[in-house]
Amino acid sequence: MSRIGRKPIPLPAGVKVQLGAAALEVQGPKGKLKVSLPAGISFEQKDGVLNALRQSEEHRAVHGLARALVANAVRGVTEGFKKELDIVGVGYRAELKGKTLVFALGYSHPVEFPVPEGIQVTVEKQTHL
Protein backbone atom coordinates (compact mmCIF):
# COMPACT_ATOMS: atom_id res chain seq x y z
CA MET A 1 0.00 0.00 0.00
CA SER A 2 1.25 3.44 -0.86
CA ARG A 3 1.42 5.57 2.27
CA ILE A 4 1.64 8.76 0.23
CA GLY A 5 -1.14 7.77 -2.17
CA ARG A 6 -3.57 6.96 0.64
CA LYS A 7 -3.13 10.32 2.38
CA PRO A 8 -6.12 12.64 1.82
CA ILE A 9 -5.56 16.10 0.34
CA PRO A 10 -7.42 18.79 2.33
CA LEU A 11 -9.00 21.48 0.14
CA PRO A 12 -8.76 24.98 1.66
CA ALA A 13 -11.62 27.44 1.32
CA GLY A 14 -11.72 29.09 -2.10
CA VAL A 15 -10.20 26.15 -3.99
CA LYS A 16 -12.31 24.58 -6.73
CA VAL A 17 -11.47 21.24 -8.31
CA GLN A 18 -12.79 19.95 -11.63
CA LEU A 19 -12.39 16.22 -11.96
CA GLY A 20 -11.77 14.80 -15.42
CA ALA A 21 -10.85 11.41 -16.83
CA ALA A 22 -7.27 12.27 -17.86
CA ALA A 23 -6.69 15.57 -16.06
CA LEU A 24 -7.63 17.44 -12.93
CA GLU A 25 -8.01 21.23 -12.86
CA VAL A 26 -7.40 23.17 -9.64
CA GLN A 27 -8.44 26.81 -9.34
CA GLY A 28 -7.69 29.07 -6.37
CA PRO A 29 -6.91 32.64 -5.37
CA LYS A 30 -3.40 32.60 -6.92
CA GLY A 31 -4.34 31.07 -10.26
CA LYS A 32 -5.33 27.95 -12.12
CA LEU A 33 -3.34 24.74 -12.66
CA LYS A 34 -4.06 21.63 -14.71
CA VAL A 35 -2.52 18.30 -13.70
CA SER A 36 -2.41 15.34 -16.09
CA LEU A 37 -3.27 12.09 -14.32
CA PRO A 38 -1.53 8.79 -15.04
CA ALA A 39 -3.66 5.98 -16.45
CA GLY A 40 -5.44 3.96 -13.79
CA ILE A 41 -5.57 6.75 -11.19
CA SER A 42 -8.70 8.73 -10.39
CA PHE A 43 -9.70 11.16 -7.66
CA GLU A 44 -12.87 11.54 -5.63
CA GLN A 45 -13.92 14.67 -3.79
CA LYS A 46 -15.82 14.19 -0.54
CA ASP A 47 -16.30 16.46 2.51
CA GLY A 48 -13.70 19.03 1.42
CA VAL A 49 -11.04 16.36 0.88
CA LEU A 50 -9.57 14.77 -2.26
CA ASN A 51 -8.68 11.08 -2.25
CA ALA A 52 -6.56 9.29 -4.86
CA LEU A 53 -7.94 5.96 -6.02
CA ARG A 54 -6.22 3.34 -8.15
CA GLN A 55 -7.98 0.79 -10.35
CA SER A 56 -5.73 -2.16 -9.49
CA GLU A 57 -2.48 -3.15 -7.83
CA GLU A 58 -0.71 -2.72 -11.18
CA HIS A 59 -1.08 1.04 -10.83
CA ARG A 60 0.52 1.29 -7.40
CA ALA A 61 3.77 2.66 -8.85
CA VAL A 62 2.08 5.93 -9.87
CA HIS A 63 -0.44 6.17 -7.00
CA GLY A 64 1.78 8.28 -4.73
CA LEU A 65 3.10 10.29 -7.67
CA ALA A 66 -0.38 11.34 -8.77
CA ARG A 67 -1.38 12.29 -5.23
CA ALA A 68 1.81 14.36 -4.77
CA LEU A 69 1.30 16.20 -8.07
CA VAL A 70 -2.27 17.17 -7.15
CA ALA A 71 -1.25 18.17 -3.59
CA ASN A 72 1.46 20.44 -5.01
CA ALA A 73 -1.06 22.02 -7.40
CA VAL A 74 -3.44 22.72 -4.50
CA ARG A 75 -0.58 24.29 -2.53
CA GLY A 76 0.47 26.33 -5.58
CA VAL A 77 -2.94 27.94 -6.12
CA THR A 78 -3.33 28.82 -2.43
CA GLU A 79 0.13 29.76 -1.10
CA GLY A 80 2.24 29.99 -4.24
CA PHE A 81 5.77 28.66 -4.55
CA LYS A 82 8.88 30.20 -3.02
CA LYS A 83 12.58 29.58 -3.52
CA GLU A 84 15.39 31.22 -1.58
CA LEU A 85 18.97 31.62 -2.77
CA ASP A 86 22.05 32.29 -0.64
CA ILE A 87 25.17 33.49 -2.44
CA VAL A 88 28.34 32.27 -0.74
CA GLY A 89 31.74 33.71 -1.60
CA VAL A 90 34.02 36.61 -0.85
CA GLY A 91 32.81 39.65 -2.76
CA TYR A 92 29.80 37.85 -4.25
CA ARG A 93 26.58 39.85 -4.13
CA ALA A 94 23.36 40.61 -5.98
CA GLU A 95 21.16 43.64 -6.46
CA LEU A 96 17.87 44.33 -8.19
CA LYS A 97 17.81 47.13 -10.77
CA GLY A 98 14.28 47.51 -12.10
CA LYS A 99 13.38 44.17 -13.70
CA THR A 100 16.98 42.95 -13.87
CA LEU A 101 19.05 41.06 -11.30
CA VAL A 102 22.69 42.10 -11.35
CA PHE A 103 25.15 39.60 -9.88
CA ALA A 104 28.80 40.21 -8.95
CA LEU A 105 30.23 36.70 -9.02
CA GLY A 106 33.97 37.20 -9.41
CA TYR A 107 33.97 37.78 -13.15
CA SER A 108 35.49 40.89 -14.71
CA HIS A 109 31.96 42.05 -15.52
CA PRO A 110 28.60 41.92 -13.72
CA VAL A 111 26.18 39.15 -14.75
CA GLU A 112 22.76 40.56 -15.63
CA PHE A 113 19.68 38.33 -15.48
CA PRO A 114 16.27 39.63 -16.65
CA VAL A 115 13.44 38.60 -14.31
CA PRO A 116 10.66 36.75 -16.22
CA GLU A 117 7.06 37.99 -16.11
CA GLY A 118 4.98 36.59 -13.27
CA ILE A 119 7.97 36.02 -10.97
CA GLN A 120 8.59 38.30 -8.03
CA VAL A 121 12.16 38.71 -6.78
CA THR A 122 13.28 40.48 -3.62
CA VAL A 123 16.85 40.99 -2.44
CA GLU A 124 16.76 41.01 1.37
CA LYS A 125 20.53 41.24 1.86
CA GLN A 126 23.19 41.42 -0.81
CA THR A 127 23.75 37.70 -0.44
CA HIS A 128 20.17 36.47 0.09
CA LEU A 129 17.46 36.45 -2.61
The kind and range of the H/E element at 41 are strand 41-46
Q: What is the pLDDT of residues 111-122, one digit of tens each?
A: 999 999 888 888
- What mean pLDDT comes out for the span 88-106? 90
The whole-model pTM stands at 0.74
pLDDT at 2: 66
User: Which pLDDT score is estimated for 5?
Assistant: 84
* Torsion sign over Cα 40, 44, 49, 53: negative
Please tell me the predicted confidence (pLDDT) of residue 81: 84
The pLDDT assigned to 102 comes to 93
Give me the residues paired with residue 18 across strands. Answer: 25
pLDDT surpassing 60 at residue 1: no
**Per-residue pLDDT tens over the stretch 37-82:** 888 888 888 888 999 888 888 888 889 888 999 999 999 999 888 8
pLDDT given for residue 19 in this prediction? 86
Q: Over the chain, what is the mean pLDDT?
A: 88
Task: Report the length, in residues, of the chain.
Answer: 129
Q: Phi and psi for 90 in degrees, rounded to 5?
A: -70, 120
Of residues 34, 50, 54, the one with CA closest to residue 42: 54
CB-side neighbour CA atoms (13 Å) of 118? 4
Spatial CA neighbour of 32 closest among 9, 50, 14, 45: 14
